[in-house]
Amino acid sequence: MTTASTPALETITGAYASLPNTTVIERVVAMSLADSNYKPTDKDIDECVLEYQAAQELLRAAQDTHDEVKNRLIGIVRKHGSIPDGASESKRLSGTRNAATVTVGKSTSLRESAIGDLREYLNERNVPQLFGRMFSIETKHKLVESAHDVLATVDLPKRTHDRIAQLFGVCIDVKTKAPVLKVDAITPEKIKRTKRGKAA
């Protein structure tokens, strides 16, 4: 019996084939740790970038396969599963050792223009208190691009200036994001893929 292969799985196989057992990146990292004066060659850099691109392809293929299998399992559970006690929005399908549960969640979004119409009508009918029992008002602030320069443009007593600067500093929480990697081809080069023959 021959198992059918999906295009996504074939792509994963091809991406694996493009990665050697010991990668150039691993060798460059090892040499960098062993010798502080070591510098990778241009060829090493090109191969490191190609390895990264191959890993990206592998990740995309794995994600495609994951999504495909997930959607098929959801369909199986929806068709053959039963509703668990106390969970009307879910369906569960149990085997001997594993169970799969599918839950359909709901999200609520608000239409601001319609809310304004409702609030205006409640005011017209002299029942504005009902609005506060239906909705709460939240204000979201956005930092102005030149906010850090504001205090330099106004003449304030030093004590007041320092206090405002302190309070303003507390209002802002600056976090360092994870590094973003971008690779560009100086000379366009395609990732080499290994063709695999189909199983007989």
Identify the band that residue 105 occupies on the pLDDT scale cut at 50, 70 and 90: confident
Determine the Cα–Cα distance for residues 169 and 163; give it in Å rounded to an integer: 10
- The pLDDT score that the predictor gives to residue 11 is 53
Determine the Cα–Cα distance for residues 190 and 49; give it in Å rounded to an integer: 11
Q: Which two tokens stand for residue 103?
A: 């839950």
Determine the Cα–Cα distance for residues 196 and 7; give it in Å rounded to an integer: 12
Determine the Cα–Cα distance for residues 25 and 32; give it in Å rounded to an integer: 10
Within a domain: residue 79? Answer: yes
- The pLDDT score that the predictor gives to residue 120 is 94
Identify the band that residue 188 occupies on the pLDDT scale cut at 50, 70 and 90: low
Within a domain: residue 186? Answer: no
Within a domain: residue 11? Answer: yes
Within a domain: residue 197? Answer: no
Task: Tell whether 72 and 137 lie within a shared domain.
Answer: no
Within a domain: residue 150? Answer: yes
Task: Tell whether 34 and 84 lie within a shared domain.
Answer: yes
Identify the band that residue 63 occupies on the pLDDT scale cut at 50, 70 and 90: very high
Of 95, 121, 142, which closes a domain? 95
Determine the Cα–Cα distance for residues 24 and 43; give it in Å rounded to an integer: 10
Of 95, 129, 159, which closes a domain? 95
pLDDT at 7 over 90: no
Q: Which residues have CB under 8 Å from 72's CB, separation 6+?
A: none
Within a domain: residue 43? Answer: yes
pLDDT at 4 over 50: no
Task: Tell whether 126 and 67 lie within a shared domain.
Answer: no
* Domain span at 24: 7-95
Task: Tell whether 69 and 145 lie within a shared domain.
Answer: no
Tokens 């019996």 correspond to what residue? 1
Determine the Cα–Cα distance for residues 88 and 85; give it in Å rounded to an integer: 7
User: How many structural domains are present in the chain?
Assistant: 2
Within a domain: residue 195? Answer: no
Within a domain: residue 120? Answer: yes
Contact criterion met (CB below 8 Å) for 77 and 91: yes
Task: Tell whether 90 and 132 lie within a shared domain.
Answer: no
Task: Tell whether 25 and 89 lie within a shared domain.
Answer: yes
Core vs surface per residue 71-108: b (16+ CB within 10 A) or e: eeeeeebeeebeeeeeeeebbbbeeeeeeeebeeeeee
Of 46, 65, 95, which closes a domain? 95
Determine the Cα–Cα distance for residues 130 and 39; give it in Å rounded to an integer: 70
pLDDT tens digits for range 26-62: 888 888 998 889 999 999 999 999 999 999 999 999 9
| Bridge partners (DSSP) listed for residue 101 | 92
pLDDT at 13 over 50: no
Question: Smallest Cα–Cα separation from 93: which of 78, 107, 104?
Answer: 78
